[in-house]
Chain A
Amino acid sequence: DTGVSQNPRHKITKRGQNVTFRCDPISEHNRLYWYRQTLGQGPEFLTYFQNEAQLEKSRLLSDRFSAERPKGSFSTLEIQRTEQGDSAMYLCASSLSYQETQYFGPGTRLLVL
Chain B
Amino acid sequence: GENVGLHLPTLSVQEGDNSIINCAYSNSASDYFIWYKQESGKGPQFIIDIRSNMDKRQGQRVTVLLNKTVKHLSLQIAATQPGDSAVYFCAEKPENRLAFGKGNQVVVIP
Contacts and interface: CB of A to CB of B under 8 A. Distances in A.
Interface string B12-41: 000000000000000000001010100001
A28 B32 CA distance: 22
Interface string A40-62: 11111100100000011010000
Nearest to A48: B96
Nearest to B103: A42
A104 interface: yes
Contact of A38 (B5, B41, B99): B5
B32 A39 contact: no
A42 B45 CA distance: 13
A40 B7 contact: yes
Interface in B35-53: 36, 41-46, 49, 51
- Kindly state the interface size class of chain A when it binds its partner: 20 to 34
B8 interface: yes
Contacts of A31: 96
B6 interface: yes
B44 A43 contact: yes
B46 A101 contact: yes
A58 B98 CA distance: 12
Interface string A56-82: 101000000000000000000000000
Nearest to B32: A100
A105 B43 contact: yes
Interface string B77-102: 00000000000010101001111111
27 contacts: A33-B97, A33-B98, A38-B5, A39-B5, A39-B6, A40-B5, A42-B102, A43-B89, A43-B98, A43-B100, A44-B100, A45-B97, A45-B98, A45-B99, A48-B97, A91-B43, A93-B98, A100-B32, A100-B34, A100-B51, A101-B34, A101-B49, A102-B46, A102-B98, A103-B46, A105-B43, A109-B41
Interface of B: 3, 5-8, 32, 34, 36, 41-46, 49, 51, 89, 91, 93, 96-103
